Structures are given as structure tokens and as C-alpha cells.
Amino acid sequence: MATAEPQQSIILVDDEKHLRQACTQALELAGLPVQSFPSAVGVLDELSHDFPGIVVTDIRMPGIDGLELMSEILKLDETIPVILISGHGDVPMAVQAMRDGAYDFIEKPFPSDMLVDAVRRAMEKRRLVLENRRLRAELEGGSNLQSKLLGTNPAIEQLRQQILDLASIDVDVLVNGETGVGKDLVARSLHEQGTRATSRFVAINCGSLPESVIESELFGHEAGAFTGATERRIGKFEHASGGTLFLDEIENMPVELQIKLLRVLQDRVVVRLGSNQEIPVDVRVIAATKVDLLTECAEGRFREDLYYRLNVLNLQVPALRDRRDDIPLLFQAFVNQNSVRHHKEPMQVSSDTIASLVAHDWPGNVRELQNVATRYAIGLQVNVGAGTETLMPQHGTLADKVNAFEKQVIESSIREHEGSLKATYEALGVSRKTLYDKIQKHGIQSAG
């Protein structure tokens, strides 16, 4: 069954305003939904492995050009069709671009029907790819979820079952858990197992955006709504309509904005900044927090009415230290994944390493374990304990191991002193020139 057109999307990237507007108009007149960008900045934030659409991008752009953008897109998913456009009739470039994974190459100037035709063919190809993926996932059933939320501990087994039970109940969900436990993975699993799986999953971190822009990010704005707003911007609620909106670190949302969020959750309409028009949105909201929101309510940092509006269904993600029996399985799986990614031979984790991993408290939870597994997979021996890590090469000469240790000590000290090289060489008891020489020797990135 074909995916409905409103669920598909075209991302158009071109730094030439007039051409961008002309292409947008041509695609919209053909009934094709399009979101335009004046540069590559922000494009990757809109994409994922299951992005239900295609990308059309100019090649010659300041900053990140179209070929670099295509390379990053294909890292996310090599089957996302990327159509390249260029005003430079460079046949070798076109051939190389097709070899590198471009779906099509259009030379400027081009008639609008040529663009529309290429886009329609690319959209159909993408629809078929996603449909095949969906069918495979249905055949696998619950195994897909089990491969994402690994573990046999009763707490994680209960969480998987709750996701399966709640995924198709189309109400808002609050996900609780410490930093690094995988709240984003739980939210995405709820989306993928539910009735909105073929529509967008849009994530926004409420703690990573300044107060001055978060309202525009959520609800959008009209051209001229504020200084610098030169074009209309669709907010995350509108962008996610038909699908799921994930609000991570909801506790960091400004109190003034919580009132507007509450109204959107109650009425399912948004009003863009600079407009009075109410726009209906059909979206499931999943919010996540690492703190006790009731405590935040009691201390006046979070609205109680918003808490109860979000907390229709509640999921608790266990900390890694509360399911230590899963650590060997998780670590071996992460090592295997990284061995493939970095073209290394898969390795069996030693019993001594496992013992030290299980004994560690993992304040960074699964995310911290993944980072350690990455370093282990590329050839570093891991010893964890007492809240510290010592990393040494598993193989190599004594000089190799000494160099690796020296590099780690310098990098750690630079981080500890927030990039200040003066404070670093003073703390390490070496001269300024000695530290600079060692930074060059080890290829250390610093902000001196």
C-alpha cells in the first residue's frame, strides 16, 4: 500500500533565494510538500534512517557544499535519494556524484517539469524502500524491539512489554530516567511500534536551545515576526503533524512557554509567532525528563497542570547500575557493532574486563558504556573502577603504550581546565613549549 503523500517530504537546499523560491513553488504546484533551506545548516537535524522523503540540493554553496551534505546524508541512510543541481556543466563531477550515491543530477537552467519528474521518481523509490522495511519489521515482530532495547533483566523486559502495550494507545507519554539511559530510544520505539510509524518522528531537546528561539522552534513564525525572521518557518509541532513529537529534557522549558505548550496539548492547535491563525496539529507528544517533575512543580519550576497533562502514560527507564546482569551482554554487543563500523576484527571481551565493568557504577548509564565499548573496539584495553577509566592499547610496544597513556593524560587535563593550555602545562608541571610539542606529536585537538 502506498504511503500517503502528506507523510512524504522533500527537503530543498539552495543558497540562491530566487531559485529556491521558484523550485519550491513548482513542487508545491505539483502537489509535493517541500521544506526549503538556504544552506546545509540544520538539514541533517530533519533527517533520520526512516526519513520518508528525499533531498534536493545545490552543489555550489558556501560552507558545506552539496557533495559534502550528500555524503553525510548517505551515512544516515544510503537509500535516501539525493538529487544534485548545479549551474556548472561539469560532466566528470556528475559522473562521480552518481558513483558516490546521488540519485540524479540536474544542470541549471532546467525546466520546472524536469525537476518535478525527477522528484516524483525519487519519492516513489523512497516509498518502496520504506514499505519493504516496514514489511520486514512486521515479519520480525517483537524481535526488532528486543534488538534495540537489549537485556534480559526483568526491568528491561517489563519496559519492552510496556512499549508494546502502549505504542498503539494514541495518548501522550512521559518517559522518566537518568541521563544516558536511552529515553530517546524508548520514545522512538513507541513511535515505531505504533500506528504513526510511517509518519515523522521529530525530536527537540528543550535544554539545548536558548529561550529566545525555543518558541519559534516549537510553534514556528511568520516572515517579519521578529528581527532576522526573513522567511516563514514551520515549527516542530506542524512538522510532526501526523506523527510523533519528542520533547527531551522537558524540565528545562521556560515557565512562560509552558503555558503555551499546555494550550497546544489541550487544543491541538498552534499559532505561529507573528500570526493570529490557529493551525490544527495531529501529533502524539512524548516528553522525557531526568528529574522528578513533581519536585520541580513544588519548587515552582514546572507547572503542575502541564505535568498532569503530559503524564497520561508513564514509563520508567531503569539505570544501568540497577541491571548489572545486562552489562556483559550490552558491552559485547556494542563492541561487535563498533568492530564492524571501524573495520576491526571482532573480539571477545575478557572475564577480567567484564568483572571491572560490572563493578562500575556507570553514572553515564548506557551512553557511557557505549563510549567505553567504542574505545575498546578500536584497540584500547579498558579498566574501570572507583569512578575512573584507564585506557591502554591491547597490543603494541612499550613505547606505543606509553604514548597512548601520555596522550590520554594531556587530553584529560585540557578538558579539566576547559581548554586553557596555560592552566594545563602548569598543572602537569611542564613548560609551555613541551606541552605544545606533545600536542603536535599526538595530534591532540585543543582550544588554546
What domains does the chain contain, in order, with CATH numbers?
5-140 (3.40.50.2300), 147-316 (3.40.50.300), 322-442 (1.10.8.60)
User: pLDDT tens, 82-125?
Assistant: 999 887 666 677 778 888 889 998 988 899 999 999 999 999 88
φ/ψ of residue 385, rounded to 5:
160, 150
φ/ψ of residue 380, rounded to 5:
-110, 130
Give the C-alpha separation, 328 to 194, whole Å: 31
CA dihedral angle for residue 290, residue 294, residue 300, residue 306, rounded to 10 degrees: 90
Predicted local confidence at residue 421, as pLDDT: 84
> Which residues neighbour 170 within 8 Å (Cβ) at sequence distance 6 or greater?
194, 195, 196, 284
* DSSP per-residue letters across 130-151: HHHHHHHHHHHTTHHHHHHS--
Predicted local confidence at residue 56, as pLDDT: 96
Which residues of the chain have a pLDDT value below 70?
Answer: 1-7, 88-91, 132, 134-144, 345-346, 348, 381-402, 404-405, 445-448
User: pLDDT tens, 358-402?
Assistant: 888 899 999 999 999 988 888 776 656 544 454 444 445 566 666
Degrees to nearest 5, angle at CA 54 with 53 and 60: 155
> Which residues neighbour 115 within 8 Å (Cβ) at sequence distance 6 or greater?
23, 26, 27, 56, 85, 106
Predicted local confidence at residue 213, as pLDDT: 85
Check residue 271 and give left, alpha or beta (phi > 0: left; psi -120 to 50: alpha): beta
240: cell is 510532526
User: pLDDT tens, 335-366?
Assistant: 888 887 777 766 767 777 787 888 888 999 99
